[in-house]
Copies of this chain bind each other. A is one copy, B any other.
Amino acid sequence: MVGRTRSKNETPDAVLRALADPHRRQILRLVQHGELPAGQIAASFTLTQQAVSQHIGVLKSAGLLTERRDGTRRLYSLRQEPLESVRGLLAELWPEALSRLKRAVEEAHPRDSGRDA
């Protein structure tokens, strides 16, 4: 064990529950390619700032968001590690999907034999 036990609640349970909400999935999409301040995330929704802040809290405690502070702002970005447990579940329940994914990757990157994440 190296950096395990992240003090966060990265159980499959928490991760799946966090993902099982469309607002939260949208937040993850917003920050997947770079960090965004909470306010800008909140501005994407019709919800109140506080409601979005709470969604951010749920994602953060599932380990799916990284927080960086810059003055009064808080910048969030996607943290992918907890998705590992989702992948694990998928692999367990749908092993054939691995083959499908493999083909998809081969079609997308024909000569790339599998760089790591």
Contact = CB atoms under 8 A, between A and B. Distances in A.
A10 to B, nearest CB: 14
Contacts of A12: 25
Interface residues of A, number: 41
Interface in A62-106: 78, 80, 83-84, 86-87, 89-94, 96-106
Contacts of A92: 29, 32
Nearest to A15: B20
Interface in A21-51: 21-22, 25, 28-29, 32
Taken together, the copies of this chain in the complex come to 2
A78 B105 CA distance: 26
Interface of A, secondary structure class, is helix
Contacts of A32: 92-93
A114 to B, nearest CB: 4
A96 B109 CA distance: 12
A87 B116 contact: no
Interface of A: 12-13, 16-17, 19-22, 25, 28-29, 32, 78, 80, 83-84, 86-87, 89-94, 96-106, 108, 112, 114-117
